[in-house]
Chains A and B, each alone.
Chain A
């Protein structure tokens, strides 16, 4: 049902992941995950080592944050985030690269995990692992299946349906063994015996590679999926793999599934077997105008401009820089914002590509209805949102909208459908919260 086919533009598909050296200063925001911001445990002037805990996630839905470099805490201050608003962050001046004790940096691959369920979840929690697909939901929370529910399948999301991005693709090719080991750890923690890795069919090499490697792992299968955006959305992925539809407003566990990104599986492997916290991630830096589109291992907190420099510098005709992919990413106000746990890519668009088509009359072509993967009617929801008819919005299931952007992509009249629906969602969400007290 639904879906669009934007141009794939995977420029960095063949570029192996390179390591970006730590910058001079890192800015580590305290809120890089969904949920309550972490609370700093270091102070101005403290010396920290790479991998040392610097902020603790104390609430249930929160995550620990670790120093991604070694050096001195310069200040804990407000730093501009990708929306331009200033949020609290820990600023560290880099001195050398000295790692904290207890992190095994180069032990060979460990396939077997000796730890028990509780210990695995605890390691994931301690090391601040969050969903690396973009939503940055704390992973340890997902690992705790609510009482009364039972997980049947672990779904691993290697779809990467966002055009341009290649981070997960490269990770699957280069760290396939570790990913599979990570999946088996996650299976153990969730007490499931079946795991499916879903990969879009436009990455045949990754499908082939993981299929070959998955042989010795019992219960892990790899499936190639139709190329279609948003194939990698949680609910759509479950539907494609198992034919099950997650009911409106419910979580995947409702149909016996837990979904994790491939990047998260890799991070889980490193956290559990090597005791390495989440302090770096793969970021695709791409764009048709960039000299050298690359995939980089980047320390969390590195300014975006450093990544663009590594890809050959910012082109003259740049009109837009996006944190994330072209369909769901956020346009940046400022290029000095730091990379966070959720940054999967930096996309540079030329001035020509940066603009929206001019807004015209709605011709009621119904394309937005056809492409909506949730079976909604964006044209109607946009009007209702605009007129603040929130009760009707609720009946038309506005809250099911996952903001994938298919409607705004396909609209031949260039109407800001999703913009208006987002306003409606914010207002309706507030109304629902008020109603429930």
Chain B
């Protein structure tokens, strides 16, 4: 026995080894007993998903979607909006299945009642959440259908695809970041935000108002409200515009983006996005090209 390998050190080494061995055996037994056998494909699918856990697929996160796809043994009915068709294709390839195509969608804010066009009549104080303001009153501008401007949609967005424009008080959606997860659509207490077809070259035409009041009343609160005049309905050759409850709605499935309706709207409530600027006398000539 030298001074290093004395009785104390040996004893402690021995006891530690003993404890370690016992613990290892216990851990092994427990691990075997409670082993969960999982389909390895779930991990495989999850790895392909973006991992944002946004809930855009309607399930609680990417893992849940992967589990659902593998459990149901099908891809139909499941779609990952952030990943888009590309990711769905990858998943299909990895699993050796067929993938369907889905039209790319994007969120659209259907209100243009900015501070200037729908001037505030009262002054709101309190929690900056639309959910509360909606129950409390009609909004500073007075329109019972219009955007409240508290930014609940922006806070719901997990992809930084939205911001509140300080000047107008309205949310703005960034085309290149929006993944159509519908979080904002679900959040808006007034159903102002809609998922619409992204359109060719991101071109979209929509009625930027959901006010169902009579024209005069709507107009009193907002200069760019749809007043329900029906001019756009007459203008449309494709029956794409539905007119109901003093409100026009453009069905994006039928709309051919012919650009005929925006100019006829007396309140400029119909918006067209990402089109080239109109020529001074444009309208008839380039319409067929668009269609």
Contacts and interface: CB of A to CB of B under 8 A. Distances in A.
When A and B assemble into the complex, do they touch directly, with CB atoms less than 8 Å apart?
Answer: yes
Interface of A: 78, 83-86, 331, 333, 355-356, 386, 416, 419-420, 422-423, 426-427
A423 B138 contact: no
Interface stretch (B95-103, B119-127, B269-277): B119-127
Contacts of B138: 83-85, 333
A333 B142 contact: yes
Given A333-B138, A356-B125, A86 B131 contact: no
A422 B126 CA distance: 12
B135 A333 contact: no
Contact of B213 (A86, A355, A419, A427): A86
Contact of B129 (A85, A331, A333, A420): A420
Given A84-B137, A416-B132, A426-B135, 4 more contacts: A83-B137, A333-B137, A386-B129, A423-B129
17 contacts: A83-B136, A83-B137, A84-B139, A84-B142, A84-B144, A85-B137, A356-B125, A416-B127, A416-B132, A420-B127, A420-B129, A420-B132, A422-B132, A423-B127, A423-B135, A426-B135, A427-B131
Nearest to B152: A423
Given A83-B136, A84-B142, A426 B125 contact: no
Contact of B135 (A331, A386, A422): A422
A419 B127 contact: yes
Contact of B144 (A85, A356, A416, A420): A85
Contacts of A84: 137-139, 142, 144
In the A-B complex, the 9 residue pairs with the smallest Cβ-Cβ separation, listed nearest first, are A419-B127, A84-B138, A416-B127, A423-B131, A84-B137, A419-B132, A419-B126, A423-B132, A356-B125
A422 B136 CA distance: 10
A86 B135 CA distance: 13
A324 B219 CA distance: 31
B222 to A, nearest CB: 14
Contact of A355 (B125, B129, B144): B125
Contacts of A423: 127, 129, 131-132, 135
Contacts of A356: 125-126
A376 to B, nearest CB: 18
Nearest to A417: B127
Given A83-B137, A84-B137, A422-B132, A333 B121 contact: yes
A86 B143 CA distance: 10
B125, B126, B127, B132, most chain A CB atoms within 10 A: B127
A239 to B, nearest CB: 29
A333 B139 CA distance: 9
A393 B213 CA distance: 37
B121 A416 contact: no
A419 B133 CA distance: 9
A419 B129 CA distance: 9
Contacts of B127: 416, 419-420, 423
Interface in B138-190: 138-139, 142, 144
Contact of A426 (B121, B131, B139): B131
Contacts of B144: 84-86
A419 B126 CA distance: 7
A73 B57 CA distance: 53
A315 B213 CA distance: 33
B55 to A, nearest CB: 12
Contacts of B142: 84, 333
B137 A416 contact: no
A85 B144 CA distance: 6
A356 B213 CA distance: 33
Contacts of B122: 333
Nearest to A382: B127
B126 A416 contact: yes
B8 to A, nearest CB: 51
Contacts of A416: 126-127, 132
Nearest to B221: A84
A78 B126 CA distance: 28
Nearest to B214: A78
Nearest to B136: A83
